[in-house]
Homo-oligomer: A and B are copies of this chain.
């Protein structure tokens, strides 16, 4: 070979070797099974879209982070940086073909040229799920319940902290600072990061010291769900459709026996502009400091930007959430709850004679037909003559198998030996049926 190119990947991007990729796929399968168990349907959209579509109204941070370029046809294109914007475009484009309310999930990679410090990646996987076309509190609750059940299925106990943007806006309105709500919401959103004192200072700059103090009081602790609801209902000017909705959601939680997973937390605001109803973040009970692993909220008009202003179609309201797979994996890892395995095959067939490879595959085929993954060792080191059986045992264990089968001289007729790798116990004189029963 004349030339040599150093094998390396871009900063912020990752290769996944089998153990890590198996872990990812195991998690994704559980997540997807949970989504499907609620009757949610998958969609997919292109990784590459018109930059105009993805950037929409534009936005400072997004514009800086997006991978944007001219394609060979001189089109201005970009890699998707989230799954929400493509979904908004999708909803506008196929509205007539979708059955509403539309419950969809989308699990896919997104790309952002972010600063790679602080464990951020430039390529990462998001798992989004939304219900579009229903304003019902039952839809809000379904998304909340899916968050809880999906994370429970992964073995983590979560606390979902919930708030209502509309109620907070009533409060700001009463306070006379409604026109500054966007800035105030963004500042409150940083509370956990920057602390109470810095938040007070920033809020005072925006809304004055007196308002700042009242906002801090509103977003502070008020006790349990009912007490907090009573307090913020009062602070926001009394009963309203928004406080009613929180009351209904509380009833749903109690009726389904899931109330232990939810908190009403008036400091949750989410930074993003498009949320108008409930908003929520999810923290691991065993390690809340790692931050939210699943967040979202209700929005009024997701597809508005892509819907003809002239058309008579009404705005599509919806509610959704997103699991950040990479942060979740980091969290599970730090909690020691990340199951890992080296392979899928519990059963491995040793190679005695290379010329019998066809017969070994026939044996293996019986396991595969019974739903048991089964690997055939090929020759283990290029030359079977030089490979002792004990080395095949070591190899099989390294691959994560529990059993190795040692065929007889006539692989298809002779009795078989089954060795349990962990205990090093051999059981001889077995039929294939014996073994399939034993390992099933």
A residues within 8 Å of B by Cβ?
Answer: 1, 3-10, 13-18, 21-22, 24-25, 36-50, 52-53, 56-57, 64-65, 67, 69-73, 75, 77, 79, 89-90, 92-94, 97-101, 103-104, 109, 111, 113, 123, 131, 134-139, 141-142, 145, 149, 248, 251-257, 301, 303-309, 343-345, 348, 351, 354-362, 364-365, 368, 372-376, 378-382, 395, 398-399, 412
The smallest beta-carbon distance between A81 and chain B, in angstroms, is 12
Known: A38-B373, A42-B21, A71-B67. A306 touches B6 (CB 8 A): yes
The answer to whether A305 and B92 touch across the interface, beta carbons within 8 angstroms, is: no
List residues of chain B with CB within 8 A of the CB of A9: 45-46, 49-50, 93
List residues of chain B with CB within 8 A of the CB of A13: 46, 48-49
List residues of chain B with CB within 8 A of the CB of A46: 9-10, 13-15, 123
19 contacts between A and B (CB under 8 A): A9-B45, A9-B93, A10-B50, A17-B98, A21-B43, A36-B344, A36-B345, A37-B374, A38-B375, A39-B376, A40-B344, A41-B343, A73-B113, A138-B379, A141-B357, A141-B358, A255-B362, A256-B361, A256-B362
The answer to whether A374 and B39 touch across the interface, beta carbons within 8 angstroms, is: yes
The answer to whether B4 and A113 touch across the interface, beta carbons within 8 angstroms, is: no
The answer to whether B378 and A139 touch across the interface, beta carbons within 8 angstroms, is: yes
The answer to whether A378 and B42 touch across the interface, beta carbons within 8 angstroms, is: no
A416, B421: Cα distance in complex, Å: 51
From B21, B39, B52, contact of A44 by CB (8 A): B21
List residues of chain B with CB within 8 A of the CB of A104: 18
The answer to whether B343 and A39 touch across the interface, beta carbons within 8 angstroms, is: yes
Known: A5-B305, A309-B4. A142 touches B36 (CB 8 A): no
List residues of chain B with CB within 8 A of the CB of A138: 351, 354, 357, 360, 376, 378-379
List residues of chain B with CB within 8 A of the CB of A24: 44
Q: Is the contact region of chain A dominated by helix, strand, or loop, or is it mixed?
A: mixed
The number of times this chain is found in the oligomer is 2
The smallest beta-carbon distance between A430 and chain B, in angstroms, is 21
- Chain B minimum-CB-distance residue to A376: B142
The answer to whether B75 and A10 touch across the interface, beta carbons within 8 angstroms, is: yes
List residues of chain B with CB within 8 A of the CB of A251: 355, 358
The answer to whether A134 and B359 touch across the interface, beta carbons within 8 angstroms, is: no
List residues of chain B with CB within 8 A of the CB of A37: 344-345, 368, 372-374
A368, B9: Cα distance in complex, Å: 42
Known: A10-B48, A50-B10, A382-B135. A43 touches B71 (CB 8 A): no
List residues of chain B with CB within 8 A of the CB of A139: 378-379
The smallest beta-carbon distance between A87 and chain B, in angstroms, is 10
A350, B123: Cα distance in complex, Å: 41
List residues of chain B with CB within 8 A of the CB of A41: 18, 21-22, 343-344
List residues of chain B with CB within 8 A of the CB of A356: 255
- Chain B minimum-CB-distance residue to A38: B375
A381, B139: Cα distance in complex, Å: 12
Closest 4 CB pairs of A and B: A39-B375, A255-B358, A252-B358, A69-B69
Q: A8-B50, A39-B344 are in contact. List 5 more A-B contacts (CB 8 A).
A: A7-B303, A9-B45, A16-B44, A99-B398, A255-B356
Known: A104-B18, A256-B361. A5 touches B38 (CB 8 A): no
The answer to whether B67 and A304 touch across the interface, beta carbons within 8 angstroms, is: no
The smallest beta-carbon distance between A338 and chain B, in angstroms, is 16
The answer to whether A136 and B101 touch across the interface, beta carbons within 8 angstroms, is: no
A298, B251: Cα distance in complex, Å: 63
The answer to whether A252 and B134 touch across the interface, beta carbons within 8 angstroms, is: no
